[in-house]
Amino acid sequence: MGNVIAIGKSRAYPNIVTHQANERTDGTNPEQMLLGNSAAIQRTLRQIRDAAAVDVAVLISGESGTGKDLAARMLHQLSRRSRHPMVRINCAAIPGQLFESELFGHEPGAFTGARSARPGKFEMANHGTLFLDEIGDLDISLQSKLLRALQDFRIVRLGGVEEHEVNVRLICGTNRNLEEEAKRGTFRSDLFYRINVVHIEMPTLRNRSEDVPLLFQHFVRLYSNQYGRRPEPITSSAMRILEKYHWPGNMRELENLAKRYVVLGGEEHVLSALRDPRDDQAILPETIDVNTPLRIQTKRAVQSLERRIILDVLRAHKWNRRKAARSLDISYRALLYKIKEAGLPPVRTVKPRPPLQIVSATGESSVSEESADTPTQASP
């Protein structure tokens, strides 16, 4: 398995140390991290395996946190170049005036402080893979210089005249729609077509919600071993809430949530952090009353949303109001007031039970009053 050199920033996955060649310290590889049985992730895995067998440029797109860097590592490790380095550079993290030096290297005296020759990332990735992450953030003035290097894979160090031939496989990652930006002129169209030989779109977590339980348990096991903790198993009702969540941060958000669950040791700490953007729709009335003041309509919408949140949290905690209050980060008394204000039942009712027939010694039967259908008191 080849070395991975990360430049610019490091993330929780893969756990790569910036500026060093390092394997993931927890022993997992990208193919193990891109877990899931959903059709969306299985289709993506097939595309990655097919693309790895052919030495062409690959563009990986998708929202932040969907695992673009993992896909890039998997492409490299499954390719014929896996015995050579994979160099990762974050285009958004390096200032424009330093990017050319980072990418192509420099000679002594090329700029103030350049006392010795230094190879660039193209040379460092020779015979391996160069991963340009967040390429959509690359300044358009630098895109032409990158394009020239990609045309014949010959680079000239900053301040030098000698050409250096490099042999690299290019992978690019972006969370932007580069095709649309190329049409608008904010991204060079010739560079776009150069890097977009094979396009892999990473699925969002909300489009593969059936994978959430598997991924959550994976991260819980990972961080339980790392931190030496053994949290209680998450309840099925709480897991259903996780599956329905919108996951704007995708896998990265899920990983952080699992880490919080392990460290703080309770699902109330997880549920309190969930705020589904789709809930914003709940505060919008089906029809707008043009004759009602804005403040009144806004108040009604907020009350409707608050009622829904409280009810969902109460259900998740089996109507245990003290746990629900901790999950919502409000006092127990405040929750009781809000339950009453929202018109929610103060108790949880059960299905009617058939009356209990009591037969006396004389053969007469009667119905026990204690067996009549009564509401079950909620847990305090």
Report pLDDT digits (tens) over 12-50: 323 222 333 333 334 455 556 688 999 999 999 999 999
Domain annotation covers residue 19: yes
Say yes or no: 23 and 58 in one domain. Answer: yes
Element (H, E) at 75: helix 68-77
Angle at 199 between CA 197 and CA 201, to 5 degrees: 170
pLDDT (tens digit, 9 = 90+) per residue, 68-79?
999 999 999 999
Say yes or no: 135 and 87 in one domain. Answer: yes
Q: What is the pTM of this model?
A: 0.67
Q: Which domain holds residue 301?
A: 206-341
Say yes or no: 314 and 223 in one domain. Answer: yes
- The answer to whether residue 108 scores a pLDDT higher than 60 is yes
**How many other C-beta atoms can be found within 10 angstroms of the C-beta atom of residue 4?**
25
180-186: average pLDDT: 92
Is the Cβ–Cβ distance between 16 and 24 less than 8 Å?
A: yes
Domain annotation covers residue 197: yes
- The answer to whether residue 285 scores a pLDDT higher than 80 is no
- The answer to whether residue 370 scores a pLDDT higher than 80 is no
Say yes or no: 138 and 221 in one domain. Answer: no
Domain annotation covers residue 219: yes
93-100: average pLDDT: 79
134-148: average pLDDT: 89
Q: What is the pLDDT of residue 45?
A: 95
Report phi then psi at 276, rounded to 5: -70, 125
Domain annotation covers residue 223: yes
Domain annotation covers residue 362: no
Say yes or no: 142 and 173 in one domain. Answer: yes
Nearest to 232 by CA among 264, 265, 256: 265
Say yes or no: 113 and 189 in one domain. Answer: yes
Say yes or no: 141 and 152 in one domain. Answer: yes
Domain annotation covers residue 355: no
Domain annotation covers residue 14: yes
CATH classification at residue 318: 1.10.8.60
Is the Cβ–Cβ distance between 8 and 133 less than 8 Å?
A: yes
Q: How many domains does the structure of the chain reveal? A: 2
Between strands 163-165 and 154-156, the pairing is antiparallel
pLDDT (tens digit, 9 = 90+) per residue, 229-247?
988 888 888 898 899 888 9
Say yes or no: 143 and 228 in one domain. Answer: no
User: HSE-up of 263 (CA within 13 Å, CB side)?
Assistant: 8
Say yes or no: 300 and 215 in one domain. Answer: yes
CATH classification at residue 154: 3.40.50.300
Say yes or no: 92 and 146 in one domain. Answer: yes
Say yes or no: 21 and 169 in one domain. Answer: yes
